[in-house]
Amino acid sequence: MAPHTIRWGIISTGGIATTFAKDLLVDPTTRNVHDVAHKIAAVGSRSVASAQAFIDKLKSFSGPSSWGVQHGGLDGATPYGSYDEVYADPSVDVVYIGTPHPFHHQNAKAALLAGKHVLCEKPFVMDLAELDELIAIAKEKRVFLMEAVWTRFQPIAYAVQEVLRSGKLGRPRRVTAELSSCINMDELADDDRMIDPKLGGGPLLDLGPYPAVWGMLVLHQHPQNQDKEPQVVDFSQRIYKRNGIDEMSAFTVRWEGLAEARLLTDFTACTPLDNACVVDCEKAQLIIDHPLYRPERFRIVPHAGSTDDIPKETEHRYPVPAGNGMHYEADHVARCLRDGKLESDRMPLTESRIVQGWFDTVRKGGNSVLKDWPHTAGK
């Protein structure tokens, strides 16, 4: 049987959209996928020339993505000088939103109102009110909506959960997870998206989804968890004086009756390479390598004096065979659309709401210039 092919409309032509589009063009069989496939039907940018340049760039790449070019993955891809034209294109099944996060709400809302399915980059939006409006529109229009937290769909994420759910490590007691990036903020231009307040700059929103995803996978989805609304119980921010964004944000989330996750993002320090996330359990620690957005190794390290259940440290590797790893979430979306689903069971909207609520708590409770960000819900 031929694979079910999904036709994508790509919104924005920046770095994240380039990575996603390249992964759509990787041969699915390299990751042992035979039931779904991908095609890029349209690209939207601020000008037709910019969209065409994006398509031409994809055609020029060597490596894994060249397979898709050779097998029709870009055939007939239409460059548009506006996003609305992508939303109106009948050849587009689903729209990928890759714009900076302050624009996610307006871009996703327009796509949903046009009746398109939507995969929107993380963080989903800037404020929970915006997300709730998107969810309401998706339900009214009966279209699919999902946040693009690509880490959830990588093989290592399933493997980590399988170990923890087996019970062999015992009950989880604490999670610490960090994604930091030691960039020289002083050398960045004022309008660099990493630090520009108008683009939602700062590590909380840019990096925060990745420590958060491990808290959700490890604790929220743990079979012993009964707390469906985990809350931020403590947080701190350090402010970058040049323009008032956060340069560091740390927060603790508690799942009552189970454990806590201590989550850290920082632009002034680097993530420890071999222990970006530590899941402390009764019998051992499960330690995940950096980078948290796409780790390829975890270790199980027994506690001193542990029982024969875990006699020694073991290493477990899950490399991405080809591409960057965003194609796993694209495959999941394709299967959801093929099966007529309006929501993902792996990345449910309820869980996006939980994490968005954490970001709102830290952002609104802190002292950055984003504290009183005016959301665009209802506009």
pLDDT greater than 90 at residue 114: yes
**pLDDT tens digits, one per residue of 323-333:** 999 999 999 99
pLDDT greater than 90 at residue 205: yes
Rg of the chain on CA atoms, in Å: 21
pTM of the model: 0.97
pLDDT value, residue 225:
98
Strands 145-148 and 78-80: unpaired
pLDDT value, residue 1:
78
Alpha-helix runs per DSSP H in the chain:
15-24, 48-60, 66-70, 83-88, 104-113, 128-141, 155-166, 203-206, 209-215, 327-338, 349-365
Q: How far apart are CA 19 and CA 320, in angstroms?
A: 14
pLDDT value, residue 195:
96
pLDDT value, residue 305:
73
The model's confidence at residue 39, banded by pLDDT at 50, 70 and 90, is very high
Strands 172-180 and 94-97: unpaired
The model's confidence at residue 310, banded by pLDDT at 50, 70 and 90, is confident
Average pLDDT of the segment spanning 308-316: 88
Total H helices, total E strands in the chain? 11, 14
Average pLDDT of the segment spanning 293-320: 90
Q: Which residue has the tokens 């909207």?
A: 349
Cross-strand pairs, 316: 298
**pLDDT tens digits, one per residue of 340-353:** 999 999 999 999 99
pLDDT value, residue 173:
97
Q: Report the CATH number of the 155-319+354-365 domain.
A: 3.30.360.10
- Give the domain ranges of the chain: 4-149+326-334, 155-319+354-365
Average pLDDT of the segment spanning 181-188: 94
pLDDT greater than 90 at residue 308: no
Average pLDDT of the segment spanning 176-188: 95
CATH fit for domain 4-149+326-334, picks 3.40.50.620, 3.30.70.1230, 3.40.50.1360, 3.40.50.720? 3.40.50.720
Average pLDDT of the segment spanning 190-198: 95
The token pair that represents 146 in the structure block: 């999902």
Helix (H, G, I), strand (E, B) or coil at 293: coil
Q: How far apart are CA 339 and CA 331, in angstroms?
A: 12
The model's confidence at residue 266, banded by pLDDT at 50, 70 and 90, is very high
DSSP 292: T
The three-state (H, E, C) secondary structure of 72-127, written as one string: CCCCCCEEECCHHHHHHCCCCCEEEECCCHHHHHHHHHHHHHCCCEEEEECCCCCC
* C-alpha angle 283-288-343 in degrees, rounded to nearest 5: 105
**pLDDT tens digits, one per residue of 6-31:** 999 999 999 999 999 999 999 999 99
Task: Supply φ then ψ for residue 100, to 5 degrees.
Answer: -55, 150
Question: Measured in whole angstroms, how far is the alpha carbon of residue 153 from the centre of its chain?
Answer: 10
Burial class from Cβ neighbours inside 10 Å (0-12, 13-18, 19+) for residue 238 reads middle
pLDDT value, residue 306:
66
The model's confidence at residue 304, banded by pLDDT at 50, 70 and 90, is confident
DSSP result, 114-181: TT-EEEEESS--SSHHHHHHHHHHHHHHT--EEEE-GGGGSHHHHHHHHHHHHTTT-SEEEEEEEEE-
Alpha carbon of 288 to those of 1, 39, 211, 316, 363: distances in Å? 38, 33, 11, 10, 27
Q: How far apart are CA 36 and CA 129, in angstroms?
A: 34
Same fold, 4-149+326-334 and 155-319+354-365: no
